[in-house]
Amino acid sequence: MKVIADESIESQVDSYPSPVNESAVDTSLSIVGQAHAILINSCGSCHQNSLPTQKAGALAVYDLDDTKNWYKEMTEEEFDGVERRLVNRDQFTEEQAEQMLLFLELARSELF
């Protein structure tokens, strides 16, 4: 009796239309968002326009306060510069470094 009840709930859930079509979610946005959050955390002190500790030279490379476009003017050499810094485990965990590498791969291929 209980099993039948459980099955009927399950089949109702399965046949109920999902409110979110996951195939339409723009995952590239969340990769950019993740990269942005990671860099704010590790590099924002100089690369964020709004902070008193900001450095003009750093902002010329990228300004994390430009939430949408911060990486769009960056050159291949500058992406390489970000990648070089990922080995610093004081600033990036293994997981963060992996997320950043994924971001760099997509950014270099101009996929976003």
When CB distances to ligand HEC are compared, the closest residue is: 81
Residue pair 64/40 in contact by the 8 Å Cβ criterion: yes
**Which one of the spans 19-27, 29-37, 63-71, 74-82 is the region binding ligand HEC (CB under 6 A)?**
74-82
Scanning residues 12 to 41, which ones bind ligand HEC (CB under 6 A)? 39
Q: Name all contacts of 40-43 with Cβ < 8 Å and 24+ positions apart.
A: 40/64, 42/91, 42/92, 42/96, 43/85, 43/91
**Candidate list 7, 8, 51, 55; residue touching ligand HEC; CB under 6 A:** 55
**Candidate list 37, 40, 43, 101; residue touching ligand HEC; CB under 6 A:** 43
User: What DSSP designation does 38 have?
Assistant: H
